[in-house]
């Protein structure tokens, strides 16, 4: 199910993309400020995005 207002992406795809991009950005910040807690949180975001890959789509 796609919607023309968001470029044809489903809400699930948008969530996966946002979590992945946010996680990668946070990981970069964690490296920059040398914070293990931020890096682990970023890894968690990317892991959630990866797990959402297996989520069922509602058609």
Residue whose tokens read 């699930």: 12
For the chain, give every domain's residue range.
10-52
Alpha carbon 47 to its chain centroid, in Å, reads: 8
Q: Are 30 and 39 in contact (CB under 8 A)?
A: yes
3-state SS of the chain is CCCHHHCCCCHHHHHHHHHHHHHHHHHHHHHHCCCHHHHHHHHHHHHHHHHHCCCCCCC
Q: What is the pLDDT along the chain (59 residues), one digit of tens a residue?
A: 555 566 778 888 999 999 999 999 999 999 999 999 999 999 999 999 999 988 777 65
């Amino acid at each position: 199910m796609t919607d023309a207002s968001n470029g044809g992406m489903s809400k699930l795809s948008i969530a996966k993309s946002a979590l992945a991009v946010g996680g990668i950005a946070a990981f970069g910040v964690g490296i920059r400020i040398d914070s293990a807690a931020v890096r682990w949180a970023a890894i968690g975001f990317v892991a959630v995005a990866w797990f959402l890959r297996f989520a069922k789509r509602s058609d």
